[in-house]
């Protein structure tokens, strides 16, 4: 779909870049709009296509698709991080891979799409983005609770409990956390976030993905 060039640039402008460039506009207003557009499109689709699910099941499925972890995964899949406008500090601390920044950018792009093309076309755009998540039920479940999903797959592989370590950097008002999770000798993964929980969830999802890919491609799986 066609998104207005100026709106798209705004959607990719993180507040750190805006601050370093004289307080120019950033993507937070578009993010606010995109969050609502995303939630509405996913809610209507899930309600329409899953008549057998009750309210609780629908809510859980929606939460998995619109979570920051899921949106960050979408951003990585389409290479959105490569196009972000970041300040020097975020650039140095790996902002292009931070789940929180990536998730916010996806919502901002959705907001820009809505202003450019209207509701119906944007709904179709949103559903194209989230469909790969819905096509893989195991992965959808992992987005809801990646730490539990990792623990379960590790147990099936006889690898014991995942072990987490956490480091942080930056000033108190802009703390960045980096989590590392190790699952026996099978896999080690890292994740970043603006909170310890978010970083651990990101690391857990990466480790879960690696174990599942290994299992699927193993001739003895």
- Residues 98/176, Cβ–Cβ less than 8 Å: yes
What residues have CB less than 8 Å from 95, skipping those under 6 apart?
Answer: 14, 16, 84, 86, 101
Assign residue 175 a region (left: φ > 0; alpha: ψ between -120 and 50; beta: otherwise).
beta
Query: In this structure, what token pair is assigned to residue 192?
Result: 């970043």
DSSP assignment string, the chain: ----HHHHHHHTB-HHHHHHTTS---SHHHHHHHHHHHHHHHHHHHHHH-TT--HHHHHHHHHHHHSHHHHHHHHHHHTGGGG-B--HHHHHTTGGG-HHHHHHHHHHHHHHHHHHH-HHHHHHHHHHHHHHHHT-HHHHHHHH-HHHHHHHHHHHTT----EEEEEEES-GGG-EEEEEEEETTTEEEEEEESSHHHHHHHHHHHHHHHHHHHHHH-TT-
Q: Which residues are annotated as a binding site for Mg(2+)?
A: 31, 104, 107
Q: Which residues are annotated as a binding site?
A: 31, 104, 107
Active site residue ranges: 35, 107
């Amino acid at each position: 779909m066609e998104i207005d060039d100026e709106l798209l640039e705004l959607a990719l402008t993180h507040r750190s870049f805006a601050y370093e460039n004289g307080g120019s506009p950033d993507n937070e207003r578009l993010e606010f709009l995109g969050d609502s557009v995303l939630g509405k499109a996913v809610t209507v689709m899930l309600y329409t296509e899953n008549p057998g699910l009750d309210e609780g099941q629908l809510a859980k499925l929606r939460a998995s698709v619109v979570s920051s972890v899921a949106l960050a995964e979408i951003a990585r899949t389409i290479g959105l991080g490569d196009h972000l406008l970041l300040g020097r500090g975020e650039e140095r601390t790996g902002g292009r891979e931070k789940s929180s920044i990536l998730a916010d950018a996806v919502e901002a792009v959705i907001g820009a799409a809505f202003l450019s093309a209207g509701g119906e076309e944007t709904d179709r755009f949103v559903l194209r983005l989230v469909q790969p998540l819905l096509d893989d039920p195991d992965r959808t479940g992992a987005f809801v609770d990646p730490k539990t999903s990792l623990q379960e797959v590790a147990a099936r592989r006889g690898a014991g409990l995942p072990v987490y370590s956490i480091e942080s950097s930056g000033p108190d008002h802009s703390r960045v956390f980096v989590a590392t999770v190790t699952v026996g000798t099978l896999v080690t993964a890292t994740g970043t976030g603006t909170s310890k929980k978010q970083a651990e969830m990101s690391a857990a999802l990466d480790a879960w993905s690696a174990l599942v890919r290994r299992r699927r491609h193993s001739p003895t799986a």
